Amino acid sequence: MITVPESATVAATGDLSVWPASTTEPEPGEIAVAGVPLAEVADRFGTPVYVLDEQEVRERCRTYRLAFPDADVRYAAKAFLCRAMARWVVEEGLGMDVCSAGELQIAAAAGLPAEKIVLHGNAKSPADLATALRLGVGRIVIDSASEIARLAAAVGPGSRQKVMVRVVPGVAAGGHDKIRTGTDDQKFGLSITDGRAQYAIARILDQPRLELTGLHCHLGSQITTVKPYLAAVRRLVGLMARIRDQHGLVLPELDLGGGHGIAYRPGEPALDITALARKVRSELTASCAAAGLPVPRLIIEPGRAVAGPAGVVLYRVLAVKRTAGTTFVAVDGGMSDNPRPALYGARYAPRLVGRVGTVAPAMATVVGRHCEAGDVLAPDVPLPGDTHPGDLIAVPVAGAYHLSMASGYNMVGRPPVVAVRDGQARLLVRRESLDDIWGRDIGL
């Protein structure tokens, strides 16, 4: 058996620091979220199953509202969206950032005023733009020069659409190369460095049906320090000053996007939202004063930091295989419901729930059921040495970019989503069945 480091033993036996705040352990091994035992959720709804703590979502929305009282906070729907999630966000006073007609229609159906919705994306389809214009979204973010004339032509006669320009500020930040979007040579935005942002701005100002309200940027995802945001503020305010000098236009809005990092495992860093708000506000005030500009309305777009820590996914162990060097614990889900480990090398802290292990923890690799060697959910994690088929494995911090990025690989079907609150569990999104999959196949 492979020796487990002392620090890993803590993670295997009871550190709940990255779990929802409502998580308790009423009896050893029996984990409950919002008063609902996870083993009961698994028995009632089957596995895999996503458990979402409604109150945790709401509290995180309130944290942002309190930290940024003078800003517009828009939930980034791409992190996770369903009708209930949209309703919670609306009730907590947040707007929404969407990137497709599908996300947009769920936001609108939840009762979110169109003015509080922003549509962005590097390649918006005609359906995306048509839906946005029909619903009257508050802002459309221009991501390329070719989009300008197309959008202007789609705006009806006598109407004007408010737009922003997504700017690449040349700031490197983010937890992985594939989720860093603040530098040149990636698909999003228009660069300040090569002048494409300035060119796009000039073209927008020549379109009478478009009203430029501000600049937008998104540096990347899983950013855990404030410094990159401050650098972005300075560069964007500098561009706003040049726009004033060249075009006589003072832009009233500045959108800093999201990307706020969270801890996926005990001891990992997370972005301090209160510190971010304080320092960004100070930097924005100072930079605008130096440039002789009024302070624009700030907009931020948190997604992962709202949904991620509120979610837990439950898997049932199907097989345990011991080789010369590794113990593989295979579960009934995998890369079809969580592609992040395969895409980004994301790391998690799974644990056994529903019983107490009777054998000391040993290092194991939790793998999925799919026909890919890369279907690894959690390599080299401590689990009880007697983990066996039928056991229940829980993975915290599973609320963002899991189900929203799920696929139909191997026709397994996507898991359901269950909300928990005040000791009650209710189904939000049902399990995708084989009948659902067959219903789309009309080839015979």
Buried b (16+ CB within 10 A) or exposed e, 206-231: ebebbebbbbbbbbbbbbbebebbbb
Grouping H, G, I as helix, E, B as strand and the rest as coil, residue 373 is coil
Nearest to 180 by CA among 195, 192, 169: 169
Handedness of CA 142, 147, 150, 152 (dihedral sign): positive
Distance between CA atoms of 167 and 254, rounded to whole angstroms?
11
Element (H, E) at 367: strand 361-367
The answer to whether the CB of 218 falls within 8 A of the CB of 258 is yes
Distance between CA atoms of 336 and 46, rounded to whole angstroms?
17
Distance between CA atoms of 362 and 196, rounded to whole angstroms?
54
Would you tell me how many other CB atoms lie within 10 Å of the CB of residue 407? Answer: 12
Distance between CA atoms of 437 and 119, rounded to whole angstroms?
30
DSSP annotation string for 163-182: EEEEEE-----SSSGGGB-S
Q: How do beta strands 161-168 and 210-216 pair? A: parallel
Question: Crossing angle of helices 83-91/54-67, nearest 10°?
Answer: 40
Is-catalytic flag, 99?
A: no
Distance between CA atoms of 176 and 346, rounded to whole angstroms?
9
Tell me the two tokens of residue 168. Answer: 């690449």
420: left (phi over 0), alpha (psi -120 to 50) or beta: beta
Q: How do beta strands 95-98 and 72-76 pair? A: parallel
The answer to whether the CB of 209 falls within 8 A of the CB of 160 is yes
Taking the CA atoms of the chain, what radius of gyration do you get in angstroms? 23
Would you tell me how many other CB atoms lie within 10 Å of the CB of residue 232? Answer: 25
* Active-site hit among 61, 217, 288, 371: 371
Distance between CA atoms of 92 and 55, rounded to whole angstroms?
11
The whole-angstrom distance between residue 167's C-alpha and the CA centroid of its chain comes to 20
Tell me the two tokens of residue 78. Answer: 């791409």
Burial class of residue 180, CB neighbours in 10 A (0-12, 13-18, 19+)? buried
Catalytic positions, written as ranges:
371
